[in-house]
Chain A
């Protein structure tokens, strides 16, 4: 994984609450055996009509969304299925972070393992972001802060280990493998 220290971008706002991973990428696209190329199917049924045409009123289809790397979403983003295809699709599309007031557990865990940043802020900050689509914000991953256009700096919670892995570009499997001796001892103790 590439180290991630900072993400700076305009925001694109999808204010709906409880966006589930079936919306992020519908199940019928999960017959893939690869993790590449899923961006095409991101939010497929919200982005495209039955005729395959782009729905012009969907936020990601609006010209203002071009090049945005930060998604501001409603409460409880990423609920439902554990499919890691969800963060893969978001990343492949070009998004790098989501900001909400709550992010579902499995989605958050999957995101962090792929370098997609799940950021939880308080309601006041969230309300401001919802009301100011396109705001230029930056995320300082090392400091765990979100910097608003006003210069206000909002600290967000993140597991220290997950942050360390993101900033250093560390693969968590490697960390587990370093504990081979302990794993072996644990197995022996249970026999």
Chain B
């Protein structure tokens, strides 16, 4: 193949969705294949449609759920779920009303298919390679693990997609991040992505779509790949993508919304052709030695402030560093593993899938969560909850002293009743350690499910590796 004709995965997906290409004066008009919605970022968009007397152009390409403002308190029946706060209750009701009025599918409150929007898209097989997928939510990047171009949009743009199924976009640049090598025991996709963000910075991906490649990525499960792509936004990137391969196909095969029969064979052929051409060029690239990465945690107030869990907190940094450590009540130069933990949260669209729960359970089995530690395990979807219960994971969690909850965003963003009290230290498998993200004054340390589980047992930030020795 001649070099100039070589294309990246991103370029193939982008160019096949151009209703109109960009010019110096006008952005491109790109067509959206799947529009996911949740209750927080859509109400104002529906109001706009109503004001202008517009319909939803493609209800068949639009799918809603509820995840952010719903409670995750364990209940026998969804009817017993009590929404926390009038605002949240109103928002949930508004979502139901809007979907009913505009004729849109809603995997709502009482649906067994409900879950965190970025967990259920793939689970249903609605997320597929080569699609453009958008949602009023920055972690839409998760779906890029399947070789889709998936990115977060604002509420005004949610309105644009509802009305026209299209978006106005400038073509982003491309950024290859190649991760090679065999991962050490105790090192997961979460540690890899935290290390990457630490390396390129929280603005390292601004203006770019990242493609993760290299043999360490190729060897990862789909769930691990979703964890990686999920946090692309934490490096400022527009999206993260991974080329579709056999792992992708076998994960999607037989899912409720995956193509069937002959259509499946055709889809596989098409999807396989989407992987980046060998000589394709990127605007930027970095290579990372995956075998050198250790279990990682954050110590500051953004996801770029990371360190290996077993090491000491850096001794110095810029003015932001001082402010962050002050907020975190941590001392420069000290080991982090001495810090007492109050809350452990396993959940969020980053780490709430079945393999994440299995990893945590592996460490917790036959052990107890330290006294004084509150541990929440929140599955990413009701389907995952059922799977976990079939495998008996719920029992392991409950016996260890953790709480086993209904699905939802929960403590990832503290707008649903699940919060970390002010001043408390939380080890969380979510994606943002911003000030107050888990509750006013809450101090968050981001970690893998393994590190979170080990920390729950020890009652202080802990290295998971000793628990994995056979």
Contacts and interface: CB of A to CB of B under 8 A. Distances in A.
A22 B437 contact: yes
Interface string A113-150: 11000000000000000000000000000000000000
B236 interface: yes
Contact of B20 (A35, A75, A79, A179): A179
Given A23-B434, A81-B137, A175-B168, 10 more contacts: A27-B414, A31-B87, A35-B44, A45-B435, A84-B41, A105-B236, A176-B163, A176-B164, A183-B31, A183-B165
A34 B43 CA distance: 7
A80 B164 contact: no
B156 interface: yes
Interface in B200-222: 202-203, 206-207
A18 B323 CA distance: 12
Interface string B80-105: 00000101101100100000000000
Q: Which 8 A-B pairs have the closest CB atoms?
A: A31-B87, A33-B43, A110-B154, A84-B154, A82-B152, A82-B138, A76-B203, A27-B413
B19 interface: yes
Interface stretch (B22-30, B371-379, B399-407, B445-453): B22-30
Contacts of A18: 202-203, 302, 304, 320
Interface string B148-160: 0000111111011
Interface string B436-461: 11001100000000000000000000
A105 B434 contact: no
Contact of A173 (B47, B159, B440): B159
Interface residues of A, number: 50
Contacts of B137: 81-82
B25 A160 contact: yes
B69 interface: yes
A76 B202 contact: yes
Interface of A: 15-18, 20, 22-23, 26-28, 30-35, 45, 50, 74-76, 79-84, 102, 104-106, 109-110, 113-114, 159-161, 164, 172-173, 175-177, 179-180, 182-183, 186-187
Given A102-B203, A179-B20, A22 B168 contact: no
A113 B415 contact: no
A28 B415 contact: yes
B44 A173 contact: no
Interface string B163-199: 1111010100000000000000000000000000000
22 contacts: A28-B415, A30-B40, A32-B87, A33-B44, A33-B91, A34-B47, A45-B435, A50-B441, A75-B203, A79-B202, A80-B432, A81-B138, A84-B41, A105-B207, A110-B156, A161-B26, A172-B156, A173-B156, A176-B164, A176-B168, A179-B19, A180-B164
Interface string B304-340: 1000000000000011100100000000000000000
